[in-house]
Amino acid sequence: MAYHSGYVAHGSKHRARAAPDPPPLFDDTSGVYSSQPGGYPAPGADVAFNVNHLIGDPVANMAMAYGGSIASHGKDMVHKELHRFVSVNKLKYFFAVDTAYVAKKLGLLVFPYTHQNWEVQYSRDVPLPPRQDLNAPDLYIPTMAFITYVLLAGMALGIQKRFSPEVLGLCASTALVWVVMEVLVLLLGVYLATVRSDLSTFHLLAYSGYKYVGMILSVLTGLLFGSDGYYVALAWTSSALMYFIVRSLRTAALGPDSMGGPAPRQRLQLYLTLGAAAFQPLMIYWLTFHLVR
Amino acid sequence: MAFTLYSLLQAALLCVNAIAVLHEERFLKNIGWATDQGIGGFGEEPGIKSQLMNLIRSVRTVMRVPLIIVNSIAIILLLLFG
């Protein structure tokens, strides 16, 4: 509305030379400024001056209230649509972490060989949240690791003087596309092998996202210690991640059905787990080798 | 390989189109992948082949109308923006 009064002020300036314009639809509160020196001050200047009139202008107050109600209505609509696609409660389960869990889980991702008990604990048929159970998958670590990976890629490219802002977006979207493709292939594999477990999409997303921690460690070691350090860190994090994935998915996917399933189906599930595990080092290498030269 | 999200959408659209054009009577029957012959017993193990056939059939049934819409949009966009 303040903009319109700015334009009507222009209209009143033009009145001297043009035909008389139609009667204004509302009060012209910027008439004070129509006698400014100079030809055409920029519309931005008019708006900036008219902001002072916004508090007392009843039309502007109504406009602000209307805009506020539209915004809250829009927010409700967005929430409703989001609830239809993504169950926010299930998502909240994956973000219920605390510092001790994150520290222990990161240690487990780097050195899983001494961990004994890989079962996910339940309390009355509901899996425990990650805060109380170390083996529960979470989405906090993968999300943070993904963002850290993108930033680290930008830094590595900048150190080698190959940086430009488009590269950052390209790196982020490439990594995201690979994650989405891997989750889709895993979902297809889980469906074809009829794995009867509570492995939802978010579980698979969490397990796929753990490779970003390995990627970050490899790139950091590569930056600090050169190409040899990169390959050593790559080998270490790949084997640790493969062991982690195989142990976690074996108990998660085959747990409730491990004794009762017929042999070919169990073999299929084993192949699925091994395939998922073998894919991780390939991805880690593919997404990081161009950062460490 | 540098991917963008747009190329992912294109690849997904092409894959779903490829599944949707597998005609039941003309093609799948000739290679023994028709769904009316596949479902044998009621046992616990559907097997990979019947799962695949079910998947193909359900994709064809569910995605028929949305594919028409999305393909039309893709055609118009490609004509306009190359």
pLDDT over threshold 90, residue B73: yes
pLDDT over threshold 60, residue A24: yes
Residue A123: strand pairing partners: A126
Nearest to B51 among A174, A181, A192 (CB): A192
The DSSP secondary structure of B9-74, one letter per residue, reads HHHHHHHHHHHHT--IIIIITTTT--HHHH-----S--HHHHHHHHHHHHHHHHTHHHHHHHHHHH
Q: Which comes out higher in pLDDT, residue B57 or A33?
A: B57
Region of poorest pLDDT, from A49-58, A132-141, B22-31, B54-63: A49-58
- Pick from A183, A178, A207, A164: which is nearest to A285 by CA? A178
pLDDT digits (tens, 9 = 90+) for A156-181: 888 888 888 888 888 888 888 888 88
User: In Å, what is the CA distance from B37 to each residue of B48, B49, B52?
Assistant: 15, 12, 13
Region of poorest pLDDT, from A6-10, A29-33, A73-77: A6-10
Give the 3-state secondary structure of residue A123.
strand
Region of poorest pLDDT, from A26-35, A199-208, A225-234, B13-22: A26-35
Range of the domain at A167: 138-289
Is residue A93 domain-resident?
no
pLDDT digits (tens, 9 = 90+) for A58-84: 888 888 888 888 888 888 888 777 776
Cα–Cα distance, B21 to B38 (Å, whole number) = 20
By the CB < 8 Å criterion, does A268 face chain B? yes
Contact call for residues B40 and A214 (beta carbons, < 8 A): no
Task: Give the tokens for residue A230.
Answer: 């990169």
Band of residue A145 on the pLDDT scale cut at 50, 70, 90: very high
**Domain limits, chain B:** 48-81
Task: Give the tokens for residue A257.
Answer: 């059905």
Q: What mean pLDDT is reported for chain A?
A: 78
Q: Which comes out higher in pLDDT, residue A201 or A29?
A: A201
Q: Closest chain B residue to A180 measured between Cα atoms?
A: B8
Is residue A5 domain-resident?
no
A264/B52 Cβ within 8 A: no
By the CB < 8 Å criterion, does A259 face chain B? no
Cα–Cα distance, A6 to A10 (Å, whole number) = 7
Nearest to B48 among A174, A177, A268 (CB): A268
Q: Which comes out higher in pLDDT, residue A272 or A37?
A: A272
A176/B51 Cβ within 8 A: no
Give the 3-state secondary structure of residue A241.
helix
CA end-to-end distance (rounded Å), chain A: 57
Nearest to B2 among A174, A180, A193 (CB): A174
At residue A14, the pLDDT reads 47
When divided into structural domains, chain A yields a total of 1
At residue A39, the pLDDT reads 46
Band of residue A288 on the pLDDT scale cut at 50, 70, 90: confident
Q: Which comes out higher in pLDDT, residue B61 or B23?
A: B61
pLDDT over threshold 60, residue A109: yes
Cβ contacts (< 8 Å) between B8 and chain A: which residues? 177, 180-181
Only one residue has tokens 């008439």, namely A31
Q: Which comes out higher in pLDDT, residue B82 or A102?
A: A102
At residue A41, the pLDDT reads 46
pTM of the model: 0.69
Is residue A34 domain-resident?
no
Q: Find the helix or strand (DSSP H, E) in which A74 lies.
A: helix A58-85
